[in-house]
Amino acid sequence: MHSIAIIGAGPAGCYCAQALAKALPDARIDILDARPVPYGLIRYGVAPDHQGTKAVIRQFERLFERQGVQFFGDVTLGRDVTLEALREMYDAVVLATGLDQDRKLGVPGDDLPGVLGSGVVTRAWNDAPDSTPPQIGARVVVIGNGNVAVDLVRLLAKTDAECEGSDLTLTLPPVTRIDVVGRSPAEAAKFDPVMLKELGRLGAASIQVHGAEGEGKVIEALATLNGHAPEGARCAVHFHFGWVPEAIEGDTRVTAARFARGAERLSLPCDTVLTAIGFDGSRQEADVEGRIAPGLYTTGWARRGPRGTIPENRADAMQVAATIAADLGPGGKPRRDALAPLVPQAVGYAGWQRIDEAERAAAPEGRVRAKIRTRVAMLALAQRGE
Amino acid sequence: MPTQVLYGTETGNAEMLAEDIAGHIGADVANLADFDPAAFEAGTLYLIVTSTYGDGDLPASAKPFAEKMAAQQPDLSGVRFAVFGMGDSEYPETFNFGGKRIEEMMTAAGAVMVGERVTHDASGPDMADDLALPWADALMALA
């Protein structure tokens, strides 16, 4: 019998477990995560008002509930168990650790108070354990032309009533102006048209699009948005294209963001700059099929870099799982029987279910869940009844 | 009546549901990506589960099937089918367009739809299985 350990219970790791469970029904599959709870970016990256997107969790619940996959939460690689030890215990180890560092702008002033990365902000809005609610003022510049930038705009521009059915529990600040600035021309923007169109339903935000020339679905979606002006709008959203960030200005806090487009300059007064220009972190060096070394693999963003949505990570995980299934030798390593004594504190799936139940029960009016916001409280809930 | 479950999926949600339905009624299940329209048989009831992806598009695994349907223009007279669509009401303009497209494609080829097209809303309170299994039971009772 084969045994496989996957590091990271986010979408990449869970899809990999799913594909492995299908290809190797007899294999013992364990998923480890540094957080006490599973699902990674599905829980802490997907916007809290996109519950339909988060619903892929129902697939992953089945791994733990019916397919014998075991969850080891609150286990940190290198602290609680080393990679070398895991490779001794398992026939294959998969690093699905993602990328969670916000890429820096790399211009003067990018470390001023008031400059925040999208990862920090979306984790906080998703109540990631021990995150601090970000200080966001009334005038915000969002730098980036991808779907994460759209998530930031939409959530800042939504009214409380428009967040009904979400699991957003923080009260977001009353932003009056949002400038969304992209370095590339509108034609090359990475927005999904469907995400842009969603902004056209905002009931309290007007939208102006500047300089969106060219053709294609993104241009069409931007044209539809331009001039959106619901009665009583409290927030004005402006899109700008082709502007390269030059500097973030301010003494003790951001006061403006400056951009260049050829000889032209654009200075946008603001108190907050949110960057949504991608993620960094430790990428794994692997071959084209996802092998790092014999018995050691990688999948998801840790493998490919911070590109691609949930379905792309599914396809990637399925391919890496096929590689693993083809590579496996005779098997017979000691697997979780050896891991469990090393990590007696690990949160199991039953512990996560107690956290999940408590979060649903605590949902305020109009919300589907109120996430537990500290690791300590999560661990206390997880251990209750054990 | 012989029955087969087919699915079109992008994130795996429709695949999981199709497998659940197939297990529940004891039918075979196949991915639309691997299904050739020439294999449709008159006298068989096909239960087709499909999501919607992107801007009202078919999910990735249904796209090769749609291309084959367009290229082969099969005559599906005598073929009966039912559609269970999966959508997300966060995107109301294109809600469940995937299911609608499959219905249109099958009907245009001469197949006859049994019952109403049913839709699950990913942003709604219902679990897909809670809608889909009774739907499949009702179809089996008709068949």
Of A225, A259, A278, the last residue of a domain is: A278
Spell out which chain A residues touch chain B, with contact meaning CB-CB distance below 8 angstroms: 15, 18, 49-53, 55-56, 58-59, 62, 165, 192-194, 197-198, 201, 217, 310-311, 314
- Using CB atoms within 10 A of its CB, is residue A36 exposed (0-12), middle (13-18) or buried (19+)? buried
The DSSP string of A239-286 is: EE-SPEEEEEE-SSS--EEEEEETTEEEEEE-SEEEE-S-EES-----
Q: Are residue A139 and residue A231 in the same domain, yes or no?
A: yes
> Do the strands A272-275 and A115-117 form a parallel or antiparallel pair, or are they unpaired?
parallel
Q: Domain of residue A186: give its range.
A: 103-278
Q: Are residue A177 and residue A72 in the same domain, yes or no?
A: no
- Residue B56 is predicted with a pLDDT of 87
- Give A-chain residues touching B56 at CB under 8 angstroms: 194
Per-residue pLDDT of chain A (386 residues; tens, 9 = 90+): 899 999 999 999 999 999 999 999 999 999 999 999 999 999 999 999 999 999 999 999 999 999 999 999 999 999 999 999 999 999 999 999 999 899 999 999 999 999 999 999 999 999 999 999 999 999 999 999 999 999 999 999 999 999 999 999 999 889 999 999 999 999 999 999 999 999 999 999 999 999 999 999 999 999 999 999 999 999 999 999 999 999 999 999 999 999 999 999 999 999 999 999 998 887 888 999 999 999 999 999 999 888 878 999 999 999 999 999 999 988 777 777 889 999 999 999 999 999 999 999 999 999 999 999 999 999 999 987 65
Alpha helices in chain A, H assignment, sequence order:
11-23, 40-44, 51-54, 57-65, 83-89, 118-125, 147-157, 193-199, 217-225, 301-304, 310-327, 336-342, 349-361, 375-383
Number of independent structural domains in chain A: 2
**d(Cα A211, Cα A228) in Å, to the nearest integer?**
16
Alpha helices in A126-173, H assignment, sequence order:
147-157
Q: Are residue A199 and residue A257 in the same domain, yes or no?
A: yes
Q: Are residue A58 and residue A123 in the same domain, yes or no?
A: no
Of A222, A249, A278, the last residue of a domain is: A278
Nearest residue to A226 via CA among A199, A203, A244: A199
If you count residue pairs, one on A and one on B, with CB atoms under 8 Å apart, how many are there? Answer: 54
Please give the average per-residue pLDDT across B120-126, as a whole number.
Answer: 87
Q: Are residue A54 and residue A182 in the same domain, yes or no?
A: no
Of B10, B55, B89, the CB nearest to A194: B55
On the CB side of A20, how many CA atoms lie within 13 Å of its CA?
34
- Residue A386 is predicted with a pLDDT of 55
- Give B-chain residues touching A12 at CB under 8 angstroms: none
Confidence of residue B142 (pLDDT cuts 50, 70, 90): confident
User: Under CATH, which architecture does the B3-142 domain have?
Assistant: 3-Layer(aba) Sandwich (3.40)
Q: Are residue A109 and residue A241 in the same domain, yes or no?
A: yes
At residue B18's C-alpha, the angle toward residues A26 and A98, to 5°, is 60
CB A189 within 8 A of CB A143: no
Residue contact B89–A194, C-beta within 8 A: no
CATH number at residue A226: 3.50.50.60
Beta strands in A115-234 (DSSP E): 115-117, 139-143, 177-181, 205-210
Q: Are residue A89 and residue A109 in the same domain, yes or no?
A: no
Q: Are residue A302 and residue A330 in the same domain, yes or no?
A: yes
For chain B, the structural domain boundaries read: 3-142
Nearest residue to A38 via CA among A19, A55, A57: A57
Q: Which strands sit side by side in the sheet containing A244-249, from one edge to the other? A: A244-249, A256-261, A264-269
Distance of CA A215 to the CA centre of its chain: 30
Of A255, A278, A301, the last residue of a domain is: A278
ipTM of the complex: 0.88
- Residue B123 is predicted with a pLDDT of 84
Q: Are residue A141 and residue A193 in the same domain, yes or no?
A: yes
